[in-house]
Amino acid sequence: MWRLIKALVVLGLIGFIALTGYAYLGDYAPETREITQPVTLDVD
């Protein structure tokens, strides 16, 4: 039983470290571009 708990704790730590590394090293910068669109205003 202790081996199973120990394995789950180790896998949890490895997963946490992997997720943290992916979050810090992953490139999440959005692609930016300028969009212009003419707007017609109906003013009476």
The total of other beta-carbon atoms located within 10 Å of residue 17's CB is: 10
- Widest CA span of the chain, in angstroms? 79
Q: How confident is the model at residue 43 (pLDDT cuts 50, 70, 90)?
A: confident
Indicate the pTM of the whole model.
0.55
Give the C-alpha separation, 11 to 42, whole Å. 62
Give the C-alpha separation, 13 to 7, whole Å. 10
Question: Which of the two residues, 30 and 34, has the higher pLDDT score?
Answer: 34
Q: Considering the chain, what percentage of its residues have pLDDT values greater than 90?
A: 64
Two structure tokens written together for 9: 């704790």
The confidence score (pLDDT) of residue 42 equals 84
Q: Does residue 19 surpass a pLDDT of 90?
A: yes
- Per-residue pLDDT tens digits for 22-31: 888 877 778 8
Sign of CA dihedral 24, 25, 26, 29: positive
